[in-house]
Amino acid sequence: MAGWRDELRSMATGFRWGRRPLVPRSAEPFVEEVDDEGFPTDWARTKVGTAARRAILNGAMLPLVRHELSLRVYGTELLEDLEGPVIFFSNHSSHLDATLIMCTLPDRWQRTTAVGAARDYFFDVWWRQAFVALVYGGFAIDRARGGAGAIEKARQLVRDGWSLVLFPEGTRSIDGHLQRFRHGAARLAIDLGVQLVPIAIIGAYQAMPKGRPWPRPGRPPVTVRYGRAIGPLEGEGHQALSRRMRQAVEELFDEDRTSWFEALQRSARGQTPSLAGPQGAAWRRTWEGTRPVPRRSRPRAWG
């Protein structure tokens, strides 16, 4: 394996410096594939890279997030007795999501957690690749090719003791509602026998939806809620596990709207509200998805 210095030298090879590729997205299926050596990111997970990442996250990113958002975080105590590595998974509606997770993870998890990021968006120019690798411990997921290379990289990271942050929806929601969960994270958990930690990010879409480069003014409220880890059951397939993963995120949203005890009761009855949103015209889904998040929740019984 090449040393981290060699990776840094080769990192910008093949990039159009500072500009995105000129090929229109609609024409990408017809472009001849060019073999490359991938995007080296191991340098960002060395001791030096990890120390720099923690300094950036805790010294710059978290204060900035708290300045721009009214941030609330719940459930981190559930990670105290959990053994890693694990796969953190969340709903995905904003570019804030990865930052919110990495900034709110407890120290021992933050040190050894890497985020899977879309190669076509975050690894297309050298400066964005360097930023994502350094600040998020990021590795590239090639969505156009089914993420085959990323799966092997993820396996390697987990075997080396790294936890992962993955977004099963694959891309940000365009209307704020939960999309279908793809099965990559579930397959990986079954294959490696690791637990999955659900995370609900509430209000990030209202704060910075797709198309906005910066959060809305007025410090919009955003909640990050961690749930109890779940694991693959004996004989469970990836589709069934993906359904349980989605349900875990929906239960956290329900808990945030009401209380832990009420959400638990609804879950036991199979009555957890769906996050798929209303059926109908796109404008109606977007209208419902942008409904303001209350700044203060009512007093809670049972957490």
Q: Tens of pLDDT along 111-145? A: 999 999 988 888 878 888 899 999 999 998 887 66
Residue 107 confidence (pLDDT) above 70: yes
Q: What is the number of domains present in the chain?
A: 1
Q: 106 vs 76, 77, 113, 127, 135, CA distance in Å?
A: 7, 9, 11, 28, 16
Check: CB of residue 166 under 8 Å from CB of residue 116. yes
Residue 2 covered by a domain: no
Q: Is 43 part of a structural domain of the chain? A: yes
Give yes or no for residue 172 having a pLDDT over 90: yes
Residue 83 domain flag: yes
Arithmetic mean of pLDDT, 172-197: 95
Angle between helices 260-268 and 238-257 (to 10 degrees): 140
End-to-end CA gap in the chain: 48
20/11 Cα distance (integer angstroms): 16
Instruction: Report yes or no on 135 lying in a domain.
Output: yes
Q: By the 8 A CB rule, do 140 and 119 touch?
A: yes
pLDDT band at 17 (very low <50, low <70, confident <90, very high): very low
36 pLDDT tier (thresholds 50, 70, 90): very low
In a domain, 166, yes or no: yes
Domain of residue 285, CATH code: 3.40.1130.10
Per-residue pLDDT reduced to its tens digit, 233-256: 999 999 999 999 999 999 999 999
- Which domain, by its residues, includes 54? 38-65+72-289
Give the residue-averaged pLDDT of 274-302: 75
For 26-146, list the strands marked E by DSSP: 70-74, 86-90, 113-118, 139-141
How distant, in Å, are the alpha carbons of 58, 101, 109, 147, 278 from that of 62? 5, 10, 16, 30, 34
Question: Which residues, including other chains, have CB under 8 Å from residue 75's CB and lie 6 or more apart?
Answer: 225, 226, 227, 252
Flag whether pLDDT at 32 surpasses 60: no
Domain assignment present for residue 265? The answer is yes
pTM for the structure as a whole: 0.85
**Full strand arrangement of the beta sheet holding 70-74:** 70-74, 221-226, 195-202, 86-90, 163-166, 113-118, 139-141
pLDDT of residue 5: 63
Write down the pLDDT at residue 280.
Answer: 80
pLDDT tens track for 52-61: 999 999 999 9
Residue 303: band (very low, low, confident or very high) from pLDDT cuts 50, 70, 90 = very low
Q: Is residue 17 part of a domain?
A: no
Tell me which amino acid residue 188 is: L
Q: Residue 21 pLDDT > 60, yes or no?
A: no
- Residue 291: the pLDDT is 84
| Residue 14, domain member (yes or no) | no
Q: Provide mean pLDDT across the span 188-200.
A: 97
